[in-house]
Amino acid sequence: MTPISLESTLFLAQAAPAGAQGGPFGSPLMFPVLMIVLMYFVIFRPQQKRMKEHQKLVSSIAVDDHVIMESGVHGIITSIKDRTVMVKIADNVKVQFERSKIAAVTKKSDVVDATAS
């Protein structure tokens, strides 16, 4: 038996097979690409859906709709302009809001039930 020299040990340690590079996903760039795709489906796509639903809500409002503004103000729409709406929040009190600040449109029956309680 011949003893293994230090030089031959270093040579054997450096000679790695060529197919072992890259890990289970193949290319080392595959992990960042997968992370970007995952971020798109987890973060950006749901946000885009919410924005489209909000735009649909804002575009479908009409006079006499009961609305809740982002600030929490409840009222009834009395007039609609391009970018703004006039909201009646009390007797003889009307406030002008940006259309984009409408958080929700409620049914008239929901408002009547709440005031009856």
Q: What is the pLDDT along the chain (117 residues), one digit of tens a residue?
A: 556 666 666 555 555 555 555 556 677 788 888 889 898 888 889 999 999 999 999 999 999 999 999 999 999 999 999 999 999 999 999 999 999 999 999 976 555 555 555
Asked if residues 99 and 85 have their Cβ atoms less than 8 Å apart, the reply is yes
pTM: 0.60
Res 84: pLDDT = 94
Res 28: pLDDT = 78
Res 98: pLDDT = 95
Q: What CA–CA distances, in Å, run from 76 to 15, 81, 106?
A: 78, 15, 10
CATH 2.30.30 describes domain 62-111? yes
